[in-house]
Structure 1
Amino acid sequence: MMPDWLTPSHFMMLGLQIVFAIAHSGGAALRPWAEKYTGARLYRVIFALISLPLAVILVVYFFNHRYDGLQLWQVQGLPGVQTFVWVLSAISFLFLYPATFNLLEIAAIQKPQVLLYETGIIRITRHPQMVGQVIWCIAHTLWIGTTFTLVTSIGLILHHLFAVWHGDRRLLARYGEAFELVRQRTSIIPLLAILDGRQELLWQEFVRPAYLGVTLFVLLFWWLHPLLLVSTSKIQF
């Protein structure tokens, strides 16, 4: 018999994450083949129409069930914890979203491309989205402290660790030796390539509209966060 705290929502969240991972990583794997038939713009639209609704479902389900299960710890009343969590969350967004700078490509207004570069945030880590997701998971698991949130975070981190391998594999297949050289000059672990002298951090590369946009988004999200929680609570599933 399963313990009372192990609610069905734990398994539902894992199932939703598996579906999203298959759709997202599978869609990325199919991209080189599919674009031959659909073109880059149409495939980006198809990819978005599949991935974005699944992502929204995941976010809404997480917000509505984040306190399910066993309360492992409770630190929300401790001084400084809320500020620490918000700072970690803001840092996580700086890693999560500037990984793709060209918003016109994301929206398929311009032709989407697979780019190979090692400037800006890639000097810090070759996989900024993975690092950002890990930081986000640490922050939110610390703040909420439930088994449901812990299970959610483990699932997200495992998917992004798989994406590290999967992304490197796809870039190696596409660029060959050129990517191998980039892999040698960069690191997955944040700052490792800078600390061992393979990279140099150039602050000028971070003076870009994308970083300003992410900063404004973080401030807007902080302001709208209570409203977002109320809105998602009205969607029950």
Structure 2
Amino acid sequence: MAASSITLSTQFLHLSTPRTRVCLSSCSPPSRRTYGLTKSIRILIPVSQPKNRRKILLLSVAAVGKTPSEAEGMVGEDSAEFDFSKQKTSSWVYFTVILAVVLYALYYLWIDNSTGFGKSFIDAVSTLSESHEIIMFSLTLIFAIVHSGLASLRDQGERLVGDRAFRVIFAGISLPLAVSTIVYFINHRYDGVQLWQLQSFPGVHQLVWSSNFISFLLLSPSTFNLLEIAAVDRPKMHLWETGIIRITRHPQMVGQVIWCLAHTLWIGNSVAVAASVGVIGHHLFGVWNGDRRLATRYGEEAFNAVKNRTSIVPFAAILDGRQKLPKDYYREFIRLPYLAVTILTLGVYFAHPLMQAASFQLHW
């Protein structure tokens, strides 16, 4: 039977390795970087057991170079890690070209009313009701079904057409629906029944602005793998464990909830409520669905190890002692992806007038 080999530190000798052959191999002296975790064994793992192989590989890679406490139990990946020495200029050139092509295709095939299908899609959904609230909720529901449905079919889709091709299909369907939902919200956010009016109250603008800023920082995991999003690198399903994940295992859900609550507080009408109910409901479903998919991909043992040290509710795992923050925890945020999302957040805020003007011109 064909087999593949990996080298593991003695920290992982307790792992079950059915039908494996173990032989000792010599190692270099312990170094400061690996904290002595260099005495190793070589394990030959049959290719016919991919789940065991993936799990042990993950444990081995995650432990190298960490502090002793982290190396003892860390299972997931180091989030937002960005190594300049590993970057290729050609990859980022491809990313720029792909981004330009995607934006042009999106505009020509969907946004432009003379050539695209976006307005026809909005008109079709608008036939469901004259209520802006129902149309708004319907748009979020359609996006949620398509987005979560395709995500749930990712394993089967990648086996059928390949990981890069499936990523293109996923983005090609989800992105136009997201744009339609956002544009409709911008154009009709003040068309509902006014429930409250707090915009003139002192401190409300500052509260809403700071909440939106925090929400975008929590949405930052989408910036961790830009080359994978564009399918320049092979797309992967990541099991993150550091950085923002120490605070909440589902930062995108928490960030989106904060964003919805802040905008609903500021706008204060029924259309904003309908949009928020749809978006928050979608992300709450995504919490369950995302955990399920990670457990399927990495195995229950590896996923539960991360799950037991993290929490859905922000700071819950830290407060009850399940998550031990390193002394230099702040260093996990001094990384390029977090800087990029900070710049993006400020850019989106100052671009609000441009976004609103562009949306109004579409008459969706």
Per the normalisation by structure 1, the TM-score is 0.95
Kept in 2: contact 1:7–1:68 (CA 8 A): no
Q: Distance in 2 between matches of 1:98 and 1:117?
A: 9
Q: Distance in 2 between matches of 1:43 and 1:19?
A: 20
Q: Distance in 2 between matches of 1:207 and 1:37?
A: 39
User: Paired residue for 1:174?
Assistant: 297
Query: Which letter maps to 2:302?
Result: A
Q: Provide runs of 4+ in structure 1 moved above 3 Å.
A: none
User: Paired residue for 2:351?
Assistant: 224
1:204 aligns with 2:327: no
Kept in 2: contact 1:9–1:148 (CA 8 A): yes
Displacement after TM superposition at 1:78 (Å): 1.4
Q: CA offsets per residue over residues 126-180 of structure 1, 9 Å max, x none?
A: 0011000000011000000001101110111111000001111111111221001
Query: Which letter maps to 2:353?
Result: P
User: Paired residue for 1:215?
Assistant: 342
Q: 1:53 to 1:112 in 2, by over 3 A?
A: same
Three-state SS of the structure 1 residue aligned to 2:362 is coil
Displacement after TM superposition at 1:69 (Å): 1.7
User: Paired residue for 1:40?
Assistant: 163
Kept in 2: contact 1:99–1:121 (CA 8 A): no
Q: CA offsets per residue over residues 73-125 of structure 1, 9 Å max, x none?
A: 11111122111111100100001133550111111110010111211111000
Identical aligned pairs, as a percentage?
Answer: 58
Structure with the larger strand share: 2
1:21 to 132, 144, 151: 144
Q: Distance in 1 between matches of 2:191 and 2:292?
A: 37
Query: Which letter maps to 2:155?
Result: P
1:68 to 191, 209, 213: 191
User: Paired residue for 2:316?
Assistant: 192
User: Paired residue for 1:50?
Assistant: 173
Per the normalisation by structure 2, the TM-score is 0.62
1:78 to 201, 223, 229: 201
Three-state SS of the structure 1 residue aligned to 2:195 is coil
Q: Distance in 2 between matches of 1:16 and 1:216?
A: 29
Three-state SS of the structure 2 residue aligned to 1:98 is helix
Kept in 1: contact 2:223–2:341 (CA 8 A): no
Structure 1 residues 50-59 or 217-226, which shifts more?
A: 217-226
Q: Distance in 2 between matches of 1:233 and 1:173?
A: 44
Q: Distance in 2 between matches of 1:173 and 1:38?
A: 20
Q: Distance in 1 between matches of 2:137 and 2:178?
A: 13
Higher relative contact order (Cα pairs below 8 Å, separated by 6+ residues)? 1
User: Paired residue for 2:221?
Assistant: 98
Unpaired stretches in structure 1, ≥5 consecutive residues: 1-5
1:89 to 209, 212, 218: 212
Displacement after TM superposition at 1:7 (Å): 5.3
Q: CA offsets per residue over residues 42-83 of structure 1, 9 Å max, x none?
A: 111110000111000000000011012210111111122111
Unpaired stretches in structure 2, ≥5 consecutive residues: 1-128
Three-state SS of the structure 1 residue aligned to 2:234 is coil
Q: Distance in 2 between matches of 1:19 and 1:131?
A: 21
Greater radius of gyration (CA): 2
Kept in 2: contact 1:88–1:135 (CA 8 A): yes
1:158 aligns with 2:281: yes
Q: Distance in 1 between matches of 2:222 and 2:333?
A: 12
Q: Distance in 2 between matches of 1:117 and 1:62?
A: 32
1:133 aligns with 2:256: yes
Three-state SS of the structure 2 residue aligned to 1:234 is helix
User: Paired residue for 2:109?
Assistant: none
Three-state SS of the structure 1 residue aligned to 2:221 is coil
